[in-house]
Every structure is written in structure tokens, then in C-alpha cells.
Structure 1
Amino acid sequence: MNGTPEKRWIVVGVDGSDSSRYALEWSANQAAQRGRGLTVLTAVGPPDAAGAFREIVPRGGEQETSDRLRDAQALVDYAREWIQRLFPELDVRTRMPTARAADALLEEAELPDTAAVVVGSRGLGGLASAFVGSVGVELAAHAPVPVVVLPKKHETAHRTKGRVVAGVDGSESSRRAVAFAFAQARWTESELVAVCAWQPMAAFVSAMGPVPPEAFDDDAVEASARRTAEAELDEMRADYPGVSVDLRTVRAHPVVALLDEATPADLIVVGSRGRGGFGGLLLGSVSQSVLHGAHGPVAVVR
């Protein structure tokens, strides 16, 4: 016995919004393809879930709590029934914790049988929806498993095949992201497109005093970026010999390179932090910007 759970589960957060509906369908499709179970979770926030605004948010007392519980039960029941019509063989279970959405999903992410957590980028709820992907960003920064964020509209619905597009930069976070991307490509029988973005070094080193001539040689910089990417990919190719890999070195900012490469049908995979990230930030600037700008699903791997 090695302590590995017999079945692993993909957890999806739902709240009745279009974004979470797409997340639910995407998650179910992934679970069916990979032999996982699906956990459908909706959080029933406590009365003080408004945080700093709790003093000005009206409270409805026990009746409001009862109504929220009833609505949450109806939502998870509907979600389970709908998914089981699409995927009759899929194991589906539901959760309805009394907690903030991010806290409830993080607690589920920490269970040993959880493989990934999936959420929509925008939920219901007025002011909160102005903070694009606030739950997704919090999850991606802290969850011990990959977090996939789905936009409001996307093209990776049931039976639609896309590629897996992964950012590669040689960092530890990137290596873990690439490993996830290879596994995802194998299970979904997709092509893996590895994107290694590079930028001219002169703009970064000209203020640092004398620099070697090769720092101004774009060909040398691109060749170095390609060597870094190839070394990272070679670590995984032996484990996934059936995965077709297309390495692209692109002269651009990493965010621009990834968003330009991916279509709405593709899954973008990024590490939570690349090289040179600031430890005090929830997420690295690249992963956060990709989450905000993508028109398809994005997986963030810590």
C-alpha cells in the first residue's frame, strides 16, 4: 500500500453563472476522459462573508440562510443530473459547505484524492464580479493542485478538441506546469505547443554598465532561450513518447506570446511564478495577466 487514493477527483465550483456552467461541462469532460470522478461544489457563504462590507450588507437572518441553503441544494442537484445525462458512467458527488467560495475550494483542494480544481472566471454577484477571477486568482496562488479557470464564453465544450499550450521558461514552476501539460496532452490526445518567449537583452542591460556583445545579439538570445526550453522538454519527452510537441520560440513578452498562440479551444498552462517573481505577490505577473486576458481555459500550476 502506498497511500495513493483509489480514485482521484476533479473539483468544480458552481454558482449558477454562465462561467461556472462552462467550467462544469469542461470538468466533466476531463473527468470522463481521464477516469476521474467529479466533485460539484457550491459554497453557501456565512452571514459575515461580505468581509469589510458586512456592516452595510443587509442580513436576512434565519430565513435568508434557509433560502440560500435551499437554492444551493437545487443548484448542485441540477448540476449533477445534467452532467450525468451527458456522461452516464461518470461518478459525480456534491458538496455544499458553509464557507467563502475560495476557502471551501481550497479546503477541497487539500484533500489527498483531489487532482485539480476548476472554476469560472466570473461568477454572480454585482460588485464582486468586477474583480475578474478573484476566486480563481486566490486559488491559483494557494492551491496545492493545478487550478483551471474558464472564461464566461469558450469553445472547449463537450467533444471539441483543442491543443495544450504551455509556457516554458526554465523555472521550477514552469517545470511543474510542463509536466502537467504533457499529462494533459497525453490523456486528451492533443498536440502540445510549448511557447518560450524571449526579448532583446539590450533593453534590460544598457543601464548596468559595460555588457558583453552577445547581449545585443538577438540570434544568440533566441538560441539560449531555445536551449533552455529544449532541456526542459527533454526531461518529459521520455515519459510521454506519444505526445507530439511543437516548440516555438517567440520574440515577445510571455503574456503576448501565449495569448497570441492560443485559440479559445486550447488549454493554456502556466506556472504560478516564472523567473524573477516577487514573493509578496499572490501570483506572478505572467500567470495573472494570462488569466485576465485568455479567451479559453487556463491552468495555473504551482
Structure 2
Amino acid sequence: MNGTPETRWIVVGVDGSDSSRYALEWSANQAILRGRGLSIVTAVGPSEAAGPFREVVPSGDEQVTDRERDAQALLDYARDWIVRLFPELPVRTRMPRARAADALLEEAALPECTAVVVGSRGLSGLASAFVGSVGIELAANSPVPVVVLPKKHEAAYGVTGRIIAGVDGSESSRRAVEFAFSQAAWTKSDLIAICAWQPMAAFVSAMGPVPPEAFDDDAVEATARRTAEAELAEMREAYPDVPVDLRTVRAHPVVALLEESTPADLIVVGSRGRGGFRGLMLGSVSQSVLHGAHGPVAVVR
């Protein structure tokens, strides 16, 4: 079933690896909860692993046919599995001839797409389609939220965890908080908002005379809390039934987020926080959380 013209879709990239299987389970469950359809995508373009040597990798008609046959078999298996689990869920499959990241970014740009989900690691060798770099590229460029699932994930379908959201007052953080509230409302989860702060003295001591307030941790924490409260205020009004626990933590943001979360939780971060460099592909915090998390991570631009 391909759904109606009004169907909005969660896109999931699959390649047969363990992490893409968990991504498939997670995205199907989310689609059911949020009244979406599930669009299952696998790419049959040049192998990501071939890199600069892809021009000398054989690409005759017979090889292409074999690759397409394998991809179609994977899509059929994934679709049949999901339909057995969720017979009421609209499911469609796509097999674009493109790089994995390009294929998923094209899907993300469609007006009916609401999120893209991938595994954190794909298959190894020339068979690989959705490798770790694909998740990074998607998170840096996708117009819709990108959710990355680790290789091992204890929360498949039917498991509700908390939503852990990083808050820092940046534009992408505000959009991440909006997504986190929406996700918490749909999944009936608690929302834990983490605002990490660090003593300012260490950062300003090399810049000349240090003002007294730079040594006042209470003042720094109070400023961080005010920033976080202001960022949460509008969403609290929009989602009054979502339980929110704001925690200001004296730690690096990555440490604060990873220590708070469990494998069953969804961590939501902005793609680039305060002070991020626009030239970077993805902010250091979001990238480090992606690499260190044991559960799903949503990155919102």
C-alpha cells in the first residue's frame, strides 16, 4: 500500500546491516505513533567504499543487474517484515541509482517527507551503502530531522524512553527543542532538557584581566538556566501536557547529554550550537553525540 496523496512519510535507509534493521524497526514504530507512512530506501549507485577509485570499479550491465536484484530483494524483505508487524501502516519502497547520501537527501527534500532515519554503521567492504559518513552528511544537510540508530539498540518498537534535548539558546537548538516537544507529546514521554555550562574563567583567563563574575559559578549557572527557561517557555505553552525537567549541568555538553541518556532514550540536538563555525560540516557537539550514543540521536538543523 502506498498511502493516499495526503500521506506524510518517514524515510528510512536500509542496507541489510544490523543498525539499519534497528533503524527500520524504530522508524516503523514512529510512523505508527505519528500517523505517517514509511518509505524504505536503498541506493544502488557507485559503492561508497570505492571512493576515488570508483571509476575503475567494474560497472558493466551484469554487475548493475546483480546489484539491483540484491537491492530489490532487500527492499521486498524489509517491506514484508514491516507489513507483518504493522499491517495498517502505509509502506512504499524506493531504489534510486545514486550515492546513498544523495539518494536520502533527495527524499528529504520532498515536501511530504518529515524525517530521515538511518543506522550508524552500514555493511563493510564494497557492499556498503549506508556507512557512518552518510549519517554525518545527512545530519549536516538534511532539511528535515535526521535520526541515527546505533548498531545495537535495545528499544525497538513498543518501547518508550525519555526524550533528552540539548538546550543552548542557538537557532538550531530552538528547532531541536521544538522537535523534542513534538516527539515527547506523540510518544507520551518525559522531556529532559539539558543545559550544560562550564566555568568561564578557563576561557577568558588568556584574554586579559578576568572580571570577578567569571569566577562565580552560581552566576554562570543562573545565566544558563535563564537562557534555557526562555528557550523552553513557548514550547511549554504549546505542549502543556509534556512533563519537562530542566537540568543545568556543570559539564561539557557532550558529557552531560551522554551521561543522562540510556540506550532506550532519544537524544535530540541541534546541528550546530552557539559559537559553531559555519564552515564545519556538522557541529562538534552533535557529531560527538552521534559517535558516542548507545541509543537513537536526532539532529535538527
TM-score with structure 1 setting the length: 0.95
Q: CA deviation at 1:245?
A: 0.3
| Alignment partner, residue 293 of structure 2 | 294
| Alignment partner, residue 221 of structure 1 | 220
Residue 249 of structure 2 is aligned to residue 236 of structure 1: no
**Secondary structure at the counterpart of residue 178 of structure 1:** helix
**Secondary structure at the counterpart of residue 296 of structure 1:** coil
> 1:191, 1:121 → 2: CA distance?
25
Identity across the alignment (%): 81
CA-to-aligned-CA distance 1:42-62 (integer Å, 9 cap, x gap): 0011479834122453x1511
Does the CA contact (< 8 Å) of 2:271 and 2:299 recur in 1? Answer: yes
Aligned residue-pair number: 296
Does the CA contact (< 8 Å) of 2:50 and 2:126 recur in 1? Answer: no
**1:63-82 mapped onto 2 (5 Å cutoff):** 63-82=62-81
Q: What residue ranges of structure 1 are gaps of 5+ in the alignment?
A: none
Does the CA contact (< 8 Å) of 2:48 and 2:99 recur in 1? Answer: no
- RMSD (CA atoms): 1.7
Q: What residue ranges of structure 2 are gaps of 5+ in the alignment?
A: none
Residue 76 of structure 2 is aligned to residue 53 of structure 1: no
**Secondary structure at the counterpart of residue 45 of structure 2:** coil
**1:1-302 mapped onto 2 (5 Å cutoff):** 6-46=6-46, 50-57=50-57, 59=58, 61-126=60-125, 133-302=132-301
Q: CA deviation at 1:211?
A: 2.8
| Residue 291 to residue 9, structure 1, CA distance change in 2 (3 Å) | same
> 2:149, 2:104 → 1: CA distance?
15
| Residue 172 to residue 60, structure 1, CA distance change in 2 (3 Å) | closer
> 2:6, 2:82 → 1: CA distance?
22
**Secondary structure at the counterpart of residue 287 of structure 1:** helix
**Secondary structure at the counterpart of residue 23 of structure 1:** helix
Q: Which runs of 4+ in 1 moved over 2 A?
A: 46-51, 125-129
CA-to-aligned-CA distance 1:36-80 (integer Å, 9 cap, x gap): 0000000011479834122453x1511111111111111101101
| Residue 275 to residue 128, structure 1, CA distance change in 2 (3 Å) | farther
Q: CA deviation at 1:121?
A: 0.4
Does the CA contact (< 8 Å) of 1:49 and 1:100 recur in 2? Answer: no
> 1:20, 1:47 → 2: CA distance?
17
Q: CA deviation at 1:208?
A: 1.2
> 2:158, 2:71 → 1: CA distance?
29
Does the CA contact (< 8 Å) of 1:133 and 1:291 recur in 2? Answer: no
> 1:27, 1:132 → 2: CA distance?
18
